[in-house]
Amino acid sequence: MRMSDKIIVCMFISFLAIVGVLNLMSDDIVFSEEENRILEQKPTLSLKNVLSGKFMDRYEAYISDQFAWKKNWLRIKAVSEKAMLKQDSNGIYFGKDGFLLEGYKEPKEQIYKNIEYINYFAEKNKELDYYMLLAPTSVEIYKEKLPLFAQSFSQRAVIDKVNDTLLDSVQMIEVTDTLTNYKNEPIYFKTDHHWTMRGAYFAYVQAAQTLGLDPIPINDFKIETVSNDFYGTFASKVLGHHVTPDKIEMFQSLYERSYIVQYDSKNDNSLFEWSYLNKKDQYSFFLNGNHSLVTIKSDVRDGRKLAVVKDSYAHAFIPFLANHFQEIYVIDLRYYHKDVDDFIRENGIKEVLFLYNVVNFSTDSNLIWLKK
């Protein structure tokens, strides 16, 4: 081996040794504000975990999450990706006009299981009225902003397939055309996977036809920008790259309404949690983020009680519904594992809305709790 090769090998081994020592000396971080998620912690070393391969898999994830000077390495990675003219990073495309977009893959078996669970629930509880709203994500509405040759499977086709497979008793609320008509307005965040409250408003107007509501005109809302520095989930996946932050709008009806909002044994009188605007997870400003169960009781006296089985797309949507229902029960099956049938009967609920974005509905394995 030539002397120059020996020097390179020694430098590489020294680099690995230094990084290894730094990793051992560094304190583990539990939660990453930049990535807005809990980081992997050191796995338990046991014979069972080693033989099954779980230990090495988790240790690899642990090292990746807890890598020393991670922010600096991410910046270096971003510079190298730009130099190579890469159009994506960690599955996120750099779209036109500052849009970060996540491509959608053709759904597999899970989506058909989820349709089966909803059909099972609707067939078991025939006396209820059922609605389904599958919201497209931004990549479906803004396909023209994808980089050249980037592809995304048609979410509209998936929504149509779901509609064809659902029981007739489950009424589909189709909002894709409506959102497409308003695509020149800020209806989706550019750095996050959610729609904005403005996007949720246009979906609410469309949904009102199926729900039998008289939607409130947009001019009868006070619209206020509550944040100018929101970096969402997509921004967290492309750390090191320059990203322009989003704005967050809040719609509040000019009609006076009072609410009692209950979650985690806590009562509040607002559908918004202002403290989150000072945190990384600013989208949790809407409905105080994720909870297993949220109960909203309003001064509307129409006797209508609605259960919303949902993902987080519902959070910016439900404040509009709260103007029309006396009681709304928001159920997140990721955390709510009690008998949904019993809950609906005990609370005298007559209407159920399933509200998910297409991507999450395609992969979420928690709708099985509808059959428990």
Nearest to 350 by CA among 128, 123, 124: 128
Q: Are residues 45 and 118 in the same domain?
A: no
Separation of alpha carbons 17 and 195, rounded Å: 45
- 288 sits in the region (left: phi over 0; alpha: psi -120 to 50; else beta) called left
pLDDT in tens, 278-312: 999 999 999 999 999 999 999 999 999 999 999 99
Domain count, the chain: 2
Residue 51 confidence (pLDDT) above 90: no
Write down the pLDDT at residue 49. Answer: 62
- Looking up tokens 């930049």 gives 34
Residue 352 confidence (pLDDT) above 70: yes
Give Cβ neighbours of residue 242 (< 8 Å, ≥ 6 apart). none
Query: Which residues are bridge partners to 31 per DSSP?
Result: 38
Q: Are residues 126 and 45 in the same domain?
A: no
Separation of alpha carbons 296 and 259, rounded Å: 7
Give Cβ neighbours of residue 302 (< 8 Å, ≥ 6 apart). 324, 325, 326
Q: Are residues 176 and 259 in the same domain?
A: yes
pLDDT in tens, 253-283: 998 899 999 998 789 999 999 999 999 999 9
Q: Which residue type sits at 276? A: Y
Residue 70 confidence (pLDDT) above 70: no
Q: Are residues 129 and 27 in the same domain?
A: no
Q: Are residues 132 and 217 in the same domain?
A: yes
Separation of alpha carbons 272 and 228, rounded Å: 17
In a domain, 275, yes or no: yes
Nearest to 62 by CA among 91, 88, 36, 24: 24
In a domain, 281, yes or no: yes
3-state secondary structure of 133: strand
Query: Final residue of a domain: which of 30, 46, 68?
Result: 68
For 204, the enclosing helix (H) or strand (E) is: helix 197-211
In a domain, 366, yes or no: yes
Q: Are residues 283 and 344 in the same domain?
A: yes
Mean pLDDT of 246-255: 96
Nearest to 218 by CA among 177, 172, 187: 187
For residue 318, name the pLDDT band (cuts at 50, 70, 90): very high
In a domain, 152, yes or no: yes
Do residues 178 and 209 lie in contact, with contact meaning Cβ atoms separated by under 8 Å?
A: no
In a domain, 141, yes or no: yes
Q: Are residues 195 and 342 in the same domain?
A: yes
Do residues 353 and 236 lie in contact, with contact meaning Cβ atoms separated by under 8 Å?
A: no
- Looking up tokens 């040794």 gives 17
Q: For all residues of the chain together, what is the average pLDDT?
A: 87
Give Cβ neighbours of residue 110 (< 8 Å, ≥ 6 apart). 362, 363, 364, 365
3-state secondary structure of 354: strand
Which parts of the chain are beta strand (E)? Answer: 31-32, 37-38, 88-89, 92-94, 100-102, 129-135, 170-173, 221-230, 246-253, 259-263, 266-268, 293-298, 305-310, 327-331, 351-357
In a domain, 77, yes or no: no
Q: Are residues 52 and 143 in the same domain?
A: no
The secondary structure of residue 302, as a DSSP letter, is S
Q: Are residues 63 and 102 in the same domain?
A: no
Residue 221 belongs to domain spanning = 98-371
Residue 38 confidence (pLDDT) above 60: no
Q: pTM to 2 decimals? A: 0.83
Separation of alpha carbons 268 and 260, rounded Å: 6
Nearest to 313 by CA among 118, 150, 179: 179
Write down the pLDDT at residue 321. Answer: 98
What is the full DSSP assignment across 139-188?
A: HHH-GGGSPTT-----HHHHHHHHHHHS-TTEEEE--HHHHHHTTTS--B
